[in-house]
Amino acid sequence: MEELAVCHLYGNLLNTYGDNGNLLMLNHRAKQMGIHLNTEIISLKDDFDPKKYDLVFFGGGQDYEQLIVSRDIQSKKAALTEYIEAGGVTLAICGGYQLLGHYYMDASGNKIDGIGALDHYTLSQDNSRFIGDIIIKNEEFGETYVGFENHNGMTFLGKGEKPLGVVQQGKGNNGEDKTEGAIYKQTYCSYFHGPLLVKNTILADRLLHAAMDRKKQKN
């Protein structure tokens, strides 16, 4: 049986709205493909080895947990950036998405540092959130993704980033430019909770195939 090494970044701290369900769906689809996932949580004070993993999952959390993570993840900045730049397959949801960028502003107006592995930043809305069902379309893949968004952040994409999809219904990254999520190399980001991959198994399959292809290329 084929195997993939999976890193669950801060899996003991970040699981807002059941985001860990993305890993359950990855496991389910992987078994159907004859692939076994070896999943390891990398959390506070742990080292991240950019050459060890085939797939990384990074979920979201409340402001308190994300503040703790934002401080710790600075020690993993170089290694995570190396992994992403080398085409490592990554899925980042909500807070994880924000922390891969330069910074985000929390609901209290504090600037929380990300690692700048991706060139986006996130502002905060005043006493408002984007909440509701959302539909986006990725024209490049010819795929439509459905889900649920619930976020205060307004994220603006930067150099080298493409949106995960164009908003057909809902608000997306910022409610202004019709983008939702981000794709940079093999890193996929989204604000979809629910979780994302349960409602969009075609994307789960895309991540698994990408991870397998990269592993074969490395070997």
Q: Tell whether pTM > 0.85.
A: yes
What 3-state DSSP class applies to 197? helix
Tell me how far apart the alpha carbons of residues 54 and 148 are, in angstroms, rounded to a whole number. Answer: 27
Binding residues: 129
The CATH number linked to 145 is 3.40.50.880
User: Are 58 and 114 within 8 A, CB to CB?
Assistant: no
What pLDDT score does 30 carry? 97
Given 7, 8, 94, 151, the catalytic residue: 94
Handedness of CA 50, 100, 163, 190 (dihedral sign): positive
What is the rounded average pLDDT of the residues 53-82?
95
Alpha helices in the chain (DSSP H): 21-32, 63-72, 77-85, 95-100, 196-199, 201-218
Segments forming the whole domain that contains residue 80: 2-218
Domain count for the chain, please give it: 1
Helix ranges, 35-184 (H): 63-72, 77-85, 95-100
Per-residue confidence band for 172, with pLDDT thresholds at 50, 70 and 90: very high
Q: Which two tokens stand for residue 106?
A: 């929390």
Known binding-site positions for substrate: 129
pLDDT(96) > 80: yes
Question: What pLDDT score does 20 carry?
Answer: 87
Q: What is the mean pLDDT of residues 54-79?
A: 94
| pLDDT single digits (tens) 125-150 | 988 899 999 999 999 999 999 999 99
Which of 28, 23, 16, 29 has the alpha carbon at shortest distance from 148? Answer: 16
Contact present, 50 and 82 (Cβ < 8 Å) = yes
Task: Give yes or no: 7 in active site.
Answer: no
The confidence band for 4, taking pLDDT boundaries of 50, 70 and 90, is very high
Measured CA to CA, the distance from residue 144 to residue 82 in angstroms comes to 30
Sorted by sequence, the CB contacts under 8 Å of residue 5 that are 6+ apart come out as: 38, 40, 52, 53, 54, 55
User: Is the sign of the CA dihedral 50, 51, 52, 57 positive or negative?
Assistant: positive
Is the sign of the CA dihedral 98, 159, 55, 24 positive or negative? positive
Of the candidate ranges 117-121, 171-175, 213-217, the one whose mean pLDDT is the lowest: 213-217
| Cα 199-203-208 angle, rounded to 5 deg | 125
Catalytic residue list contains 102:
no
Which has more confidence, 85 or 194? 85
